[in-house]
């Protein structure tokens, strides 16, 4: 076979060494992903380098031949052979550590502390996250096995044995490194003999002496792939592209967050508010666990995020007690009103979604550390996220203060403020569903005036697909002159029912949401411990239907929830507005004197 290797002299400042370049046959170039590779011979002696180069050429040609025939299966004898090489590498590694340590007492102590720290971290990771160590060893061994033509079957007994022995070897090496650095041990044969006894490698006394003499003479020419040195000497012909791997593994978490947000913005039709919420959540994650290379992410970071979120208070950016403090400072405070469980789990889920994307992109090879970190619902005795209004509270809300705070106010949105609370109470509509209504969404259908909840225009967004529905307009609103208000706007050529509002980051909800929160606080119905807001109208509407014994199927269609029964969910269509009017709308009532809120709309805006 043609000799396809060439000696190349590599000069590096004050010394030079030889490399051997091997051209890969065309038929195997797809397998290796390259046309050639170089191996450093670690010698400046031409005769020794030439001899070793010719020897390596025979080995390489044999590997090419075996690859053409097919991959070999790993046997226990091959496991022993690989372990022998790993032991040789460990011996050289210990030598490099020992010779690289200074001679002063402080230098020796510093080196010992470094080795002890590495050992402690390795053992802790092995105990807490053994799978992470095993995955790393699997990657190392898989590259080696592939490079020398072996089939990689991680489920085979042979591979599992190799993995276990490599981990044991790494543990064994730590103690010998410390002994050599401290001067307690000066004979490497003890390490070799211990490895032989532990792994039954069958190393003969002659082999031990040969290794000892070779180490002493420094004539053990063991080749390494250029630019690849996970150990000081790597005697395998490993086909790699480590430049790419290293680049991927050292990408900071913050960089991957930026890339994820950019991807989501391009690929998904999400509101600006949702994008900002994701960015804020992932930014909070960094404040809690830190910003570091993604390959350092571990289960302890998942636990840290979960326990920290469970402590943090709500609205920390606006609450005067917390807004000027960092997250770490807040975590050290006594917090009596932490975020509710649903909010915490939502934040964890967003982080989990981001990490799933990172894993799919190949930036992180371990499992999702946020899986299983949600807080169980029984871990904290939560009150409902939002409470429903009692009849007494409704009388207070829609009492004498209502007209003064809405129609008699100077706000340009005063008509919006008047109608949205009443619409929310009698129809259980979400605030955004009300505010994005167009004029064409209010119309008569089979002699019943209806509200059509849809997302037919770009400014509309619904929470779920079940939110799309057509429901009857409640009689109380008709009595309060809603249709008069509607027809006046129709004559004025308005396109939207609440045209005063501008589309923003939160849709149209900014001003009305702020108004109702302030209004409820003024009535002493909202505080850190009183979970009332506009959405409480929806809860109150649903409770009214429940108390009137309205069946679940009718309530689900009226409020825009998913049906649970198979016959209705899969085979049935939504109930007609006329049915919902009879079963739902007509039974909803509250002990409020609505006549006190009635006005002549033609005099006000006509």
The percent of residues above 70 in pLDDT, for the chain, comes to 82
Q: Are 112 and 43 members of one domain?
A: no
Query: DSSP secondary structure string, 490-522?
Result: HHTT-SBTTTT---BTTBT-HHHHHHHHHHHHH
pLDDT score of 569 = 60
Q: Are 408 and 492 members of one domain?
A: yes
Residue 477 has pLDDT above 80, yes or no: yes
Q: Are 137 and 163 within 8 A, CB to CB?
A: yes
Backbone angles phi, psi at 323, to 5 degrees: -65, -25
5-12, strands of its sheet edge to edge: 5-12, 15-23, 36-40, 224-225
Residue entry with tokens 């690859």: 67
Residues 6+ apart with CB under 8 A from 584: 471, 472, 545, 550, 554, 555, 558
Q: Are 453 and 533 members of one domain?
A: yes
Q: Are 311 and 345 members of one domain?
A: yes
Q: Are 126 and 167 within 8 A, CB to CB?
A: yes
Read off the tokens for 183.
């001067």
Q: Are 125 and 213 members of one domain?
A: yes
Residue 14: exposed, middle, or buried by beta-carbon count in 10 A (0-12, 13-18, 19+)? exposed
Residue entry with tokens 């009214």: 544
pLDDT score of 207 = 52
Task: Return d(Cα 349, Cα 344) in angstroms, integer.
Answer: 9
pLDDT score of 236 = 45
pLDDT greater at residue 251 or residue 413: 413
Residue 219 has pLDDT above 50, yes or no: no
Which of 12, 38, 70 is the endpoint of a domain? 70
469-472, strands of its sheet edge to edge: 442-445, 448-453, 469-472
Task: Give per-residue burial for 192-218: e unless 16+ CB within 10 Å, then b.
Answer: beebbeebebebeeeeeeebeeeeeee
| Domain assignment present for 369 | no
| Domain assignment present for 173 | yes
Query: What is the mean predicted confidence (pLDDT) over 568-579?
Result: 79
| Domain assignment present for 232 | no
Q: Are 448 and 354 members of one domain?
A: no
In 154-275, the DSSP E strands lie at 224-225
Q: Are 538 and 439 members of one domain?
A: yes
pLDDT score of 10 = 65
Q: How confident is the model at residue 386 (pLDDT cuts 50, 70, 90)?
A: low
pLDDT digit string (tens) for 269-309? 677 778 888 999 999 999 999 998 888 899 999 999 999 99
Task: Give per-residue burial for 27-56: e unless 16+ CB within 10 Å, then b.
Answer: eeeeebeeeebbbbbbbeeeeebeebbeeb
Highest mean pLDDT among 84-93, 148-157, 498-507: 498-507
pLDDT score of 98 = 59
Task: Return d(Cα 29, Cα 35) in angstroms, integer.
Answer: 6
pLDDT score of 493 = 95
Number of domains within the chain: 4
Task: Return d(Cα 544, Cα 540) in angstroms, integer.
Answer: 6
Residue 30 has pLDDT above 80, yes or no: no
Read off the tokens for 99.
């010779």
Q: Are 218 and 273 members of one domain?
A: no
Which of 360, 383, 412 is the endpoint of a domain? 360
Task: Return d(Cα 7, Cα 54) in angstroms, integer.
Answer: 10
Task: Return d(Cα 504, Cα 103) in angstroms, integer.
Answer: 68
Which of 224, 245, 275 is the endpoint of a domain? 224
Q: Are 458 and 555 members of one domain?
A: yes
- Lowest-confidence segment of 9-13, 46-50, 264-268, 309-313 by average pLDDT: 9-13
Q: Are 158 and 268 members of one domain?
A: no
pLDDT greater at residue 473 or residue 162: 473
Highest mean pLDDT among 8-12, 60-64, 129-133, 176-180: 129-133
Q: Are 257 and 210 members of one domain?
A: no
| Domain assignment present for 450 | yes
Prediction pTM value: 0.52
pLDDT score of 568 = 60
Backbone angles phi, psi at 373, to 5 degrees: -100, 0
pLDDT score of 580 = 96
Q: Say if strands 224-225 and 36-40 run parallel, antiparallel, or are unpaired.
A: antiparallel
Q: Are 22 and 57 within 8 A, CB to CB?
A: yes
Residue 9 has pLDDT above 80, yes or no: no
pLDDT digit string (tens) for 498-546? 999 999 877 899 999 999 999 999 999 988 778 899 999 999 999 999 9
Residue entry with tokens 């899969």: 570
Query: Residue 470, Cα to own-chain centre: how many angstroms?
Result: 38
| Domain assignment present for 309 | yes
Query: What is the mean predicted confidence (pLDDT) over 550-573?
Result: 81
Residue 484 has pLDDT above 60, yes or no: yes
pLDDT digit string (tens) for 45-76? 787 788 888 888 888 887 777 666 555 677 77
Query: What is the mean predicted confidence (pLDDT) over 171-180?
Result: 81
Q: How confident is the model at residue 5 (pLDDT cuts 50, 70, 90)?
A: low
Backbone angles phi, psi at 363, to 5 degrees: -80, -20
Q: Are 425 and 561 members of one domain?
A: yes
| Domain assignment present for 380 | no
Domain limits for position 35: 1-70
pLDDT greater at residue 14 or residue 471: 471
pLDDT score of 376 = 80
Q: How confident is the model at residue 231 (pLDDT cuts 50, 70, 90)?
A: very low
Query: What is the mean predicted confidence (pLDDT) over 82-94?
Result: 75
| Domain assignment present for 367 | no
Task: Return d(Cα 553, Cα 576) in angstroms, integer.
Answer: 12
Using alpha carbons, select from 535, 547, 556 the residue that is nearest to residue 342. Answer: 535
pLDDT score of 44 = 74
Q: Are 481 and 492 within 8 A, CB to CB?
A: no
- Lowest-confidence segment of 51-60, 338-347, 400-409, 556-565 by average pLDDT: 51-60
- Lowest-confidence segment of 9-18, 329-338, 446-455, 478-487 by average pLDDT: 9-18
| Domain assignment present for 107 | yes
């Amino acid at each position: 076979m043609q000799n396809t290797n060439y000696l190349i002299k590599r000069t590096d400042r004050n010394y030079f060494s030889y490399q051997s370049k091997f051209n890969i046959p065309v038929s195997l170039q797809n397998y290796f992903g390259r046309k050639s590779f170089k191996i450093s011979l670690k010698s400046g002696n031409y005769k020794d380098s030439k001899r070793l180069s010719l020897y390596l050429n025979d080995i390489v040609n044999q590997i090419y031949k075996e690859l053409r025939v097919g991959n070999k299966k790993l046997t226990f004898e091959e496991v022993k052979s690989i372990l022998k090489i790993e032991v040789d590498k460990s011996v050289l590694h210990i030598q490099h550590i020992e010779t690289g340590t200074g001679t002063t007492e402080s230098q020796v102590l510093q080196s010992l502390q470094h080795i002890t720290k590495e050992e402690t971290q390795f053992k802790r990771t092995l105990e807490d996250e053994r799978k992470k160590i095993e995955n790393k060893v699997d990657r190392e061994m898989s590259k080696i096995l592939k490079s020398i033509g072996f089939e990689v079957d991680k489920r085979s007994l042979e591979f599992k044995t190799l993995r276990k022995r490599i981990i044991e070897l790494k543990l064994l090496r730590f103690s010998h490194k410390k002994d050599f650095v401290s001067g307690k041990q000066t004979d490497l044969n003890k390490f070799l003999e211990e490895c032989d006894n532990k792994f039954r490698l069958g190393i003969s006394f002659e082999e031990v002496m040969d290794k000892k003499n070779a180490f002493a003479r420094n004539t053990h020419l063991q080749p390494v792939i250029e630019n690849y040195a996970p150990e000081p000497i790597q005697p395998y012909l490993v086909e790699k592209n480590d430049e790419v791997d290293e680049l991927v593994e050292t990408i900071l978490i913050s960089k991957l967050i930026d890339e994820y947000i950019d991807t989501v913005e391009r690929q998904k039709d999400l509101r600006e508010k949702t994008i900002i919420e994701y960015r804020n959540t992932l930014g909070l994650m960094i404040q809690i666990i830190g910003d570091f290379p993604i390959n350092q992410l571990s289960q302890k970071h998942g636990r840290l995020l979960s326990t920290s979120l469970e402590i943090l208070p709500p609205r920390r950016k606006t609450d005067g007690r917390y807004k000027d403090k960092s997250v770490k400072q807040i975590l050290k405070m006594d917090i009596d009103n932490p975020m509710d469980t649903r909010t915490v789990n939502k934040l964890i889920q967003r982080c989990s979604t981001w990490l799933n994307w990172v894993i799919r992109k190949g930036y992180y090879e371990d499992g999702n550390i946020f899986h299983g970190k949600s807080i169980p619902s029984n871990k904290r005795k939560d009150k409902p996220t939002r409470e429903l209004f009692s009849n007494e509270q409704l009388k207070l809300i829609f009492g004498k203060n209502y007209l003064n705070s809405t129609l008699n106010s100077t706000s340009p949105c005063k008509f919006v403020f008047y109608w949205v609370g009443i619409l929310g109470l009698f129809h259980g509509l979400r605030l955004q569903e009300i505010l994005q209504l167009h004029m064409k969404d209010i119309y008569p259908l089979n002699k019943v005036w209806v509200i059509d909840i849809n997302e037919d225009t770009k400014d509309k967004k619904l929470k779920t697909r079940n939110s799309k529905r057509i429901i009857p307009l409640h009689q109380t609103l008709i009595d309060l002159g809603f249709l008069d208000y509607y027809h006046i706007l129709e004559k004025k050529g308005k396109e939207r029912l609440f045209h005063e509002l501008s589309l923003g980051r939160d849709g149209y909800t900014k001003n009305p949401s702020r108004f109702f929160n302030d209004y409820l606080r003024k009535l002493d119905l909202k505080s850190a411990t009183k979970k009332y807001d506009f959405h409480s109208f929806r809860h109150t509407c649903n409770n009214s239907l429940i108390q009137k014994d309205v069946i679940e199927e009718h309530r689900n269609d009226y409020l825009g929830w998913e049906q649970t029964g198979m016959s209705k969910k899969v085979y049935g269509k939504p109930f007609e507005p006329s049915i919902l009017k009879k079963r739902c709308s007509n039974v909803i009532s509250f002990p409020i004197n609505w006549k006190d809120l009635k006005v002549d709309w033609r005099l006000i805006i006509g």
